Amino acid sequence: MTQELHLLPIGKSDPDMMGWLRQELIELFRVPCRILEPGLDPQFSYHPERDQYHSSEILARMQEYVTARSWRVLGITPVDLYIPILTFVFGEAQMGGPCSVVSSYRLRQEFYGLPSDRDLLGRRLLTEAVHELGHTLQLTHCDDYNCVMAASHAVEWIDLKDFLFCSQCARCARAHAQF
């Protein structure tokens, strides 16, 4: 049975951006990729005291979407994510597990009071998607600031790094997945 990367829309997603991301991830990981429909309503993870969505609760719910055909399940959401010890997260993944989630909320230029830039949003979303998928392949943060696995605590750090693994991270990723 051929395994697939499953993209799961979480909340109101941009179908054009999801389609573009699907194609980019097929080329990078060389696995079939399918967008799951219907998506997941993230309302269960909303916490009004923070006006944000708890990403760990979303990851737990995403387990319901894992099947024998799932190589990985990557959630894409426009909502603002957090974990309790941090103000926000761009994404979260199950280290070595099947699920990860990425938010476009703080990747948009509009969040910083700047004009919309769809190309930049796409590049940032791709970079964070590859980063979180890397965690599902048991990769930790990399000290090489150009590597996609470098930590990103601000959007500027995402812009500095590539959307590809450095040679060392690529070797480790290949040890855990076929691509």
From the list 4, 24, 92, 132, the catalytic residue is 132
The answer on pLDDT for 175 being more than 90 is no
The band of 178, judged by pLDDT with boundaries at 50, 70 and 90, is: low
> Average pLDDT over the chain, rounded to whole?
95
Is residue 27 among the annotated active site residues? no
Residue 7 exposed, middle or buried by CB count within 10 Å (0-12, 13-18, 19+): buried
The model's pLDDT over 9-37, given as tens digits with 9 standing for 90+, comes to: 999 989 999 999 999 999 999 999 999 99
End-to-end CA distance of the chain, in Å? 16
- State residue 97's pLDDT score: 94
For residue 10, give the 3-state DSSP assignment. strand
User: Percentage of residues in the chain with pLDDT exceeding 90?
Assistant: 93
CA dihedral 73, 4, 34, 122 (to 10 degrees): 60
The answer on pLDDT for 174 being more than 90 is no
Q: How far apart are CA 123 and CA 21, in angstroms?
A: 9
Contacts of 50 (CB under 8 A, 6+ apart): 82
Q: How far is CA 162 from CA 14, 73, 126, in A?
A: 23, 22, 10
124: which 2 tokens?
């940032």
What is the reported pTM?
Answer: 0.95
The answer on pLDDT for 140 being more than 70 is yes
